[in-house]
């Protein structure tokens, strides 16, 4: 059986190597040595032809001679790197040009081999370069998978609206501009702010967050700008404000729409002058911070109502980032729900591990007025209360059980291959769902007696048990017919 599988397995593509050298003997030697190792080798003695062939990007390794007429090896190397050709370049050099080979490696060559070289030396250098290349690809793929699992800077979301947010974060993070993050409560504005800081040049300096709705106006000024000893009742010592503590870093002001008009004026002055004065002090101190503000209120409407300063709004709104509510990106709900459930399962050893399709459909149809924060809290509540591995509709909160599940239109593929893949996936998903329901119905009819259920449907007990294991079903997953 194993031999048959080996014979029918798709053969791997042989590594392709291009030799560019004006000496026929070098080309012949490289082709003979490397072809015997199973590599596919092409040779070009004219530098112009070699460059044209190399620019196709179809080679794993390019063996490139440094000293050639018309176009030198260094010139070819520079053109390949400028064009973004992914091939690994190994320089062929004589003893008199080793220093030039070192320069070539600084320009992006992977390694070099000195003429005259032995067959073993050539085989070794090629093998080493291929192993290095494979290791790099493996790490890139691993990093991609980890990012896919953990989200963008810890922010989970793969929907089109969130992809736009991630692109915007990457665009604004390297700059020094003030950022205004808008979005409903619970959408994760502080996580967005942290992502901007982490991707900025200030990422090794402090990130401080302050909720502007947490204190009365007088205390907010002291918290932000600091105070001197004796400036007010209770000021028993001089205190640095957050603007000074966050020097060279980022300061995140959440719910900035809640600060008083007086504090708004002082905040505007700090942004304009980059100078801060402690409460009760007469001296200003220079500060170097990047301000990231956030609000769930409509600041433009507040400007029209004259409850928020127009000049401060435009100072804050240099780089706006809007976070869409969860109801506008239902495609993110399954991934968020499963991520939170997995965390609770691992951390607290809760029994719940999976969502039944019907339960997930309820979650996708729910409007989530509290957004991601509400989703996280709901999943935690379900995980605590659920007494089986599979979460079903009757485990969901009452407000979710009462909603009508809305149909979600499938994404239409762009190509025939994508359509065929989606078709196979849809068939497999439907079959698995029916298979799981089939087993559960049989178990319910038999009152959880596996032997009786298997006999009832005409299956061997071992095969029936195998399907139960496949869907991780136990007697505890059964729902009585008269259950609410």
Answer whether 32's CB lies under 8 Å from 118's CB: no
pLDDT (tens digit per residue) in 193-226: 999 999 999 999 999 999 998 888 778 988 999 8
Q: Is 360 inside a domain boundary?
A: yes
Q: State whether 422 and 445 are in the same domain.
A: yes
Q: State whether 362 and 279 are in the same domain.
A: no
Q: State whether 262 and 122 are in the same domain.
A: no
Domain boundary among 324, 355, 383: 324
322: left (phi > 0), else alpha (psi -120 to 50), else beta?
A: beta
pLDDT (tens digit per residue) in 90-141: 988 876 566 777 777 778 888 888 888 889 889 988 988 888 777 666 545 5
Q: Is 484 inside a domain boundary?
A: no
**Average of pLDDT values for 12-39?**
90
pLDDT for 97 equals 62
Q: Is 148 inside a domain boundary?
A: no
Which residues face 253 on adjacent strands?
A: 210, 293
Q: Is 233 inside a domain boundary?
A: yes
Please give the order of strands across the beta sheet that includes 16-20.
40-44, 16-20, 61-65, 88-94, 111-115
Q: State whether 96 and 218 are in the same domain.
A: no
pTM over the 0.85 mark: no
pLDDT at 358 over 90: no
Rounded CA gap, 422 and 92, in Å?
49
Assess whether the previous peptide bond of 116 is cis (omega < 30° from 0): yes
Q: State whether 121 and 135 are in the same domain.
A: yes
Q: State whether 273 and 340 are in the same domain.
A: no
70: left (phi > 0), else alpha (psi -120 to 50), else beta?
A: left
Question: Is residue 5 very low, low, confident or very high in pLDDT (cuts 50, 70, 90)?
Answer: very low
Rounded CA gap, 129 and 118, in Å?
17
**Average of pLDDT values for 250-255?**
96
Domain boundary among 96, 116, 142: 142
Rounded CA gap, 195 and 70, in Å?
50
Q: What is the mean pLDDT of the chain?
A: 83
Q: How far is CA 344 from CA 184, 226, 340, 359, in A?
A: 25, 40, 6, 18
CB burial of residue 59 (10 Å; 0-12, 13-18, 19+): buried
Q: State whether 42 and 87 are in the same domain.
A: yes
Q: What is the CA radius of gyration of the chain?
A: 32
- DSSP state letter for 408: -
Q: Is 483 inside a domain boundary?
A: no
Q: State whether 317 and 194 are in the same domain.
A: yes
Q: Is 369 inside a domain boundary?
A: yes
Question: Is residue 477 very low, low, confident or very high in pLDDT (cuts 50, 70, 90)?
Answer: very low
Q: State whether 341 and 377 are in the same domain.
A: yes
Report the CATH number that the domain containing residue 446 is assigned in CATH.
1.10.10
Q: State whether 345 and 365 are in the same domain.
A: yes
Residues of the domain holding 436: 416-477
Q: Please state the domain count of the chain.
A: 4
The four Cα atoms 247, 252, 257, 262 give a dihedral, to 10 degrees, of -20
pLDDT for 93 equals 83
Q: Is 373 inside a domain boundary?
A: yes
Find the helix or strand (DSSP H, E) in which 210 lies. strand 207-211
Rounded CA gap, 45 and 148, in Å?
45
**Alpha helix (H) residue ranges in 24-72:** 24-35, 47-54
**Average of pLDDT values for 389-405?**
84
pLDDT at 484 over 60: no
Q: State whether 119 and 173 are in the same domain.
A: no
Chain centre distance of CA 438:
38
Report the CATH number that the domain containing residue 394 is assigned in CATH.
1.10.8.60
Domain boundary among 378, 401, 424: 401
pLDDT at 441 over 90: no
Q: State whether 114 and 20 are in the same domain.
A: yes
CB atoms within 10 A of CB 318: 15
Q: Rounded to a whole number, what is the largest CA-CA distance in the chain?
A: 92
Angle formed by the axes of helices 450-457 and 461-470, to 10°? 110
pLDDT (tens digit per residue) in 310-337: 999 999 999 999 999 999 998 888 888 8
Rounded CA gap, 289 and 271, in Å?
9
């Amino acid at each position: 059986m194993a031999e048959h599988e080996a014979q029918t397995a798709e053969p791997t593509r042989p590594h392709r190597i291009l030799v560019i050298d004006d000496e026929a003997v070098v080309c012949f030697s490289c082709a003979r040595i490397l072809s015997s190792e199973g590599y596919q080798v092409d040779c070009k003695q004219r530098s112009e032809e070699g460059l044209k062939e190399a620019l196709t990007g179809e080679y794993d390794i390019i063996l490139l001679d440094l000293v050639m007429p018309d176009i030198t090896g260094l010139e070819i190397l520079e053109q390949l790197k400028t064009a973004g050709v992914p091939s690994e370049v190994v320089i062929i050099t004589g003893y008199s040009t080793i220093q030039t080979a070192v320069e070539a490696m600084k320009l992006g060559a992977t390694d070099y081999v000195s003429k005259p070289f032995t067959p073993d030396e050539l085989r070794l250098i090629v093998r080493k370069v291929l192993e290095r290349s494979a290791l790099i690809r493996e790490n890139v793929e691993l990093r991609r998978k980890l990012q896919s699992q953990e989200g963008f800077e810890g922010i989970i979301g793969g929907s089109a609206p969130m992809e736009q947010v991630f692109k915007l974060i990457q665009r604004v993070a390297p700059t020094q501009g003030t950022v205004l993050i808008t979005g409903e409560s619970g959408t994760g504005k502080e996580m967005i702010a942290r992502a901007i800081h982490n991707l900025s040049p200030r990422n090794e300096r402090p990130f401080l967050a302050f909720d502007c709705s947490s204190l009365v106006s007088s205390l907010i000024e002291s918290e932000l700008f600091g105070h001197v000893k004796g400036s007010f009742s209770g000021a028993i010592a001089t205190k640095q404000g957050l603007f000074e503590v966050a020097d060279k870093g980022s300061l995140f002001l959440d719910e900035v729409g809640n600060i008083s008009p007086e504090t708004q004026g002082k905040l505007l002055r700090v942004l304009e002058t980059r100078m801060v004065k402690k409460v009760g002090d007469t001296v200003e101190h220079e500060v170097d911070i990047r301000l990231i503000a956030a609000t769930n209120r409509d600041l433009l409407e507040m400007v029209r109502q004259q409850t928020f300063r127009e000049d401060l709004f435009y100072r804050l709104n240099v780089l706006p980032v809007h976070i869409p509510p969860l109801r506008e990106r239902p495609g993110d709900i399954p991934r968020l729900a499963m991520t939170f459930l997995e965390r609770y399962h691992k951390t607290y050893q809760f029994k719940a591990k999976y969502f039944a399709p019907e339960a997930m459909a309820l979650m996708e149809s729910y409007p989530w007025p509290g957004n991601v924060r509400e989703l996280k809290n709901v999943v935690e509540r379900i995980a605590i209360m659920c007494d089986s591995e599979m979460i079903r509709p009757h485990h969901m909160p009452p407000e979710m059980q009462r909603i009508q599940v809305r149909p979600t239109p499938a994404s239409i593929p762009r190509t025939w291959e994508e359509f065929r893949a989606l078709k196979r996936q849809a068939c497999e998903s439907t079959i698995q769902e029916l298979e799981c329901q089939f087993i559960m119905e049989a178990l319910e009819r038999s009152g959880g007696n596996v032997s009786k259920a298997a006999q009832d449907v005409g299956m061997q007990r071992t095969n029936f048990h195998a399907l139960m294991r496949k869907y991780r079903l136990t007697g505890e997953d059964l729902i009585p017919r008269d259950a609410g």
